[in-house]
């Protein structure tokens, strides 16, 4: 199976730079970061802010609680189909299994439940999970 991938470009690698800088400003204690706050953060790492995109972001976030905005986004993302194409394999395997007459397929053991990964030690110690 060959999956075509696109190498990250400067443009795709910086789609979230304004949002990231806005969130950093909030983490730094600014309840309502200004354009100057975001521009200063981006400038500190050598990135020039796009004033049009920054104005659009700040306009959309004006008067809104960032926690509510993120929660709404998580809800929308949870409802999105994730694609993948891996759903057909169990159906194909079931169709290929022999039917009736005491064949090996009739007594096959059920598939094992996927084991959930254990949380990292840091997550356990801090009691913080980014997605909870």
More confidently predicted of 50 and 91? 50
List, for residues 114-132, the tens digit of each pLDDT value.
Answer: 666 665 555 455 555 555 4
104 vs 77, more confident: 77
The confidence band for 37, taking pLDDT boundaries of 50, 70 and 90, is very high
**Residue of 12, 17, 26, 18 lying closest to 58 (CA atoms):** 18
At 80, the pLDDT band (50, 70, 90 cuts) reads: confident
pLDDT at 44 over 80: yes
How many Å apart are CA 56 and CA 67, to the nearest integer?
A: 19
Residue corresponding to tokens 């309840």:
31
Residue 55's CB is within 10 A of a number of other CB atoms, namely 13
Q: Which of 9, 20, 10, 13 is nearest to 57 (CA)?
A: 20
- Cβ partners under 8 Å of residue 44, min gap 6: none
Task: Specify the pLDDT at position 114.
Answer: 64
């Amino acid at each position: 199976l060959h999956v075509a991938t696109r190498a990250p470009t400067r443009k795709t690698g910086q789609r979230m730079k304004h949002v990231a800088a806005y969130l950093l400003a909030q983490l730094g204690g600014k309840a309502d970061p200004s354009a100057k706050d975001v521009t200063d953060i981006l400038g500190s790492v050598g990135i020039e802010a796009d004033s049009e995109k920054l104005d659009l972001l700040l306009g959309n976030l004006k008067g809104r609680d960032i926690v509510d905005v993120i929660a709404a986004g998580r809800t929308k993302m949870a409802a999105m189909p994730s694609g993948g194409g891996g759903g057909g394999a169990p159906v194909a395997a079931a169709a290929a299994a022999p039917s009736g007459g005491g064949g090996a397929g009739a007594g096959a053991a059920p598939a094992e439940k996927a084991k959930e990964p254990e949380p990292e030690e840091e997550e356990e110690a801090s009691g913080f999970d980014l997605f909870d």
